[in-house]
Structure 1
């Protein structure tokens, strides 16, 4: 059994983690500093093939967007500040490296070792400490000279920096930084703003869930009334405290929306596994045994049961597996996924069968 567990542990160590998982590397004092960050100094650079150009517009953009989260922004190093947000935009990116593995190195918006075209690299300083949080935005072209000539845009360097500013305007670095610093109250305030778009609300819910911000639970409950936000809110609730379990059970069993049922079942699996709470097992089993349960919902229910291994789940899972094995339809993708979920959960619950 030891020989089986060691490779699994090794593989788990290679899985990517959210950027705020880096907070585990901070001391208690540093975490407290991050949670209290209020005044942020913006340190911006703009570099072209001909040298440095005015970076004021980039600094102003970063200041305005971070200011939307309620931060006090400064651009004068002589003024007191709690953290430094650094953004370097270049016509031809200079590689500054990422972490060796995990975290930023595995994220799609991490600095790319291969990209040599226009890019803005972002990080921050806490005191003199340069942390491992790194992000990057890029243009849709890798050669500014060719792109500028094709659009008759004039000087390639200025054109590249201008396009990078457009990318910075769209990229949600203010939300990511706020999550990284562990300040959910700022995200919740922005969530309630009339100017916040639906797409941005979805991103905020995702971050609140990944932050495991229990204080967001009341707001997530409100979001369940919004069809466009309900699924994301349920997903976020799956990462919070066990207080959300009764509500998720109610939603899974009463909602007529299949996507909402599916999200609720997934949330129950996450919460049950996270807190070791077996109270989710019986409601999930009831859904598993209900012949009216849609296959997509049933698949998520099966996955959820595997996250909370319980002897009560073994026989119902075997019974369902027997029924599924009698169905032969190679082109049926939902059936294939359901079979995979049931098989995996049986292996999680019936461990005696594996090692006997």
Structure 2
């Protein structure tokens, strides 16, 4: 791994001049609201527990939420009449009934965004500042959608309580404290957790990921430290996507120098994500270079590093560049001449077909 100090010096300057991604996403927040959220210390936690047979005691769920927020240093109150800076609401249901609207694209496509079609057990997270819902929603769900069938399968007669118990397990693992702290723009609180030796590595990676999305200049150098950890290397590469264009030099170097196929594939995939979100042309040359080199030696399936090439092909389709059209056409021709119906080849053909269509939107090359 190269020394990144010169790069980080430049990146730090860029990050200081770039408005945080959260600002771009939440333009409806006033400067006063942002300032209040950055200073939130006392949180009133309001938890609802609902089953098909009515309300249940929310105390077990409340205890989990309270403990997890306190781990980040918040002062938690459970009485609305007590002074507080913000209300954090968690609504857990055996059968989800919330039908509110969420953003299209962006946050709405994240795994923890409310799922419109989900009707099974779920907990919805939101918060209120000065009594106003500011449109931040997160959701966790059980592995099963039919609580009655799931409870019956394990010999439990009370499906509603079973659903709430399983949601309690989700509350113990889903990192809503980090998510909402990032939403409130409290970088110092996240850094304190990041620097705590007792914080698990996976959680540190989550923190670094959200910090990079907030354009916190502390994130990039720390992410490169995780690149040295073989157990978390792929996750660290994926997390770099949150830094946007600033991560491109690191990702390109990783893609070109990595000897492990899974690492090279992860770098290619992340370059594609960055290309899609930033339209930065620097993402294309290293991917195109790999594709052209691969084309010179493809004779049979054994000549193809499927995980890497497939991610390279998907990535090239994320940013339209005329330089990619000719080599993609050659690849499409080559892989269909190879007699191979394996899942790996089918995945590569699917990626190639999609990318070629993205590059040839006008249909002039067909």
Choose from 276, 291, 305 the match for 2:316: 305
Measured against aligned partners, the alpha-carbon deviations of 1:128-154 in whole angstroms (never above 9, x if no partner) come to 11244153555978359x77x9569xx
| Aligned counterpart, 1:135 | 139
Choose from 318, 322, 327 the match for 1:316: 327
Measured against aligned partners, the alpha-carbon deviations of 1:150-206 in whole angstroms (never above 9, x if no partner) come to 569xx9988876665444323332233224334455444434433333443454455
2:279 aligned with 1:272: no
Measured against aligned partners, the alpha-carbon deviations of 1:66-108 in whole angstroms (never above 9, x if no partner) come to 1222323233434432211123456x66834332785669957
| Aligned counterpart, 1:71 | 74
Aligned pair in 2 of structure 1 residues 106, 217: CA closer, same or farther (>3 Å)?
Answer: closer
CA distance in 2, matches of 1:308, 1:50: 51
CA distance in 2, matches of 1:114, 1:270: 27
Decide whether the 8 Å contact of 2:43 with 2:88 is kept in 1: yes
The residue correspondences of 1:200-215 to structure 2 (distance < 5 A) are 200-204=203-207, 207-208=210-211, 215=218
Choose from 91, 97, 100 the match for 2:99: 97
* Root-mean-square deviation over aligned CA pairs: 4.1
CA distance in 2, matches of 1:96, 1:239: 29
Aligned residues: 332
Q: Pick 1 or 2: higher relative contact order, CA cutoff 8 A, min separation 6.
A: 2
| Aligned counterpart, 1:177 | 180
Say which SS state the counterpart of residue 122 (structure 1) adopts.
strand
Decide whether the 8 Å contact of 1:205 with 1:236 is kept in 2: yes
Shift of 1:260: 0.8
Decide whether the 8 Å contact of 2:64 with 2:172 is kept in 1: yes
Shift of 1:285: 1.7
| Aligned counterpart, 2:125 | 122
Say which SS state the counterpart of residue 228 (structure 1) adopts.
coil
CA distance in 2, matches of 1:113, 1:313: 38
TM-score by length of 1: 0.74
CA distance in 2, matches of 1:113, 1:100: 13
Aligned pair in 2 of structure 1 residues 105, 125: CA closer, same or farther (>3 Å)?
Answer: farther
Moved more, 301-310 or 103-112: 103-112
CA distance in 2, matches of 1:158, 1:313: 55
Decide whether the 8 Å contact of 1:97 with 1:113 is kept in 2: no
| Aligned counterpart, 1:327 | 338
Choose from 344, 349, 352 the match for 2:359: 349
| Runs of at least 5 residues in structure 2 that lack an aligned partner in the other structure | 1-21, 295-302
Shift of 1:261: 0.4
Aligned pair in 2 of structure 1 residues 88, 321: CA closer, same or farther (>3 Å)?
Answer: closer
Decide whether the 8 Å contact of 1:238 with 1:270 is kept in 2: yes
CA distance in 2, matches of 1:332, 1:241: 35
Measured against aligned partners, the alpha-carbon deviations of 1:192-244 in whole angstroms (never above 9, x if no partner) come to 43333344345445545666655421221111011121111111212313232
Aligned pair in 2 of structure 1 residues 165, 348: CA closer, same or farther (>3 Å)?
Answer: closer
TM-score by length of 2: 0.72
Decide whether the 8 Å contact of 1:23 with 1:31 is kept in 2: no
2:298 aligned with 1:296: no
Measured against aligned partners, the alpha-carbon deviations of 1:273-312 in whole angstroms (never above 9, x if no partner) come to 4333222322222211223762221121122222232232
CA distance in 2, matches of 1:157, 1:340: 43
| Aligned counterpart, 1:195 | 198
Aligned pair in 2 of structure 1 residues 346, 213: CA closer, same or farther (>3 Å)?
Answer: farther
| Runs of at least 5 residues in structure 1 that lack an aligned partner in the other structure | 1-18
Say which SS state the counterpart of residue 331 (structure 2) adopts.
helix
Shift of 1:332: 1.8
Aligned pair in 2 of structure 1 residues 98, 22: CA closer, same or farther (>3 Å)?
Answer: farther
